[in-house]
Amino acid sequence: MDIEKRGMVTIIKTDERLDAIVAPQFKDTVKKMAEESVLHLVVDLAKTRFIDSSGCGALVASIRALLKNGGEMKIARPSAQAKTLFELTRLHRVFEIFDDLDRAVNSFSA
């Protein structure tokens, strides 16, 4: 997982698989960010070719952690597999999803 900062926005770039193996580490990383007052987070799924229900759970936990502290989290560049998964689990109604990273980064309210 790589972390990038663009101004006030933090971007987490996930690896090839966001699954039960890495979900706990992902959740912990975002939890720490929320505790350190990160308010604008984009999860860039461009490299992720496989996400499972544990990965979805980690994303839900993460958005909750951000919202609890008054922050926002967006999803960028999901693969076709991720989009299918979000639709099947109705998470496409929970997350704000962008096909373009720059648009996701620029979308946060001031």
Interacting residue ranges for another protein, rule: CB under 8 A: 17, 19-21, 50, 52-54, 56-58, 60-61, 80-81, 84-85, 88-91, 93-94
- Positions of E strands within 14-94: 17-18, 40-44, 50-51, 72-76
Separation of alpha carbons 17 and 10, rounded Å: 20
**In this complex, which beta carbon is closest to another protein, that of residue 9 or of residue 26?**
26
**In this complex, which beta carbon is closest to another protein, that of residue 83 or of residue 107?**
83
CB of 104 to another protein, least distance (A): 20
Cα–Cα separations (whole angstroms), residue 56 to 7, 14, 48, 69: 27, 13, 13, 20
**In this complex, which beta carbon is closest to another protein, that of residue 52 or of residue 96?**
52
- Whether the CB-CB separation of 44 and 101 falls below 8 Å is answered with yes
CB of 6 to another protein, least distance (A): 28
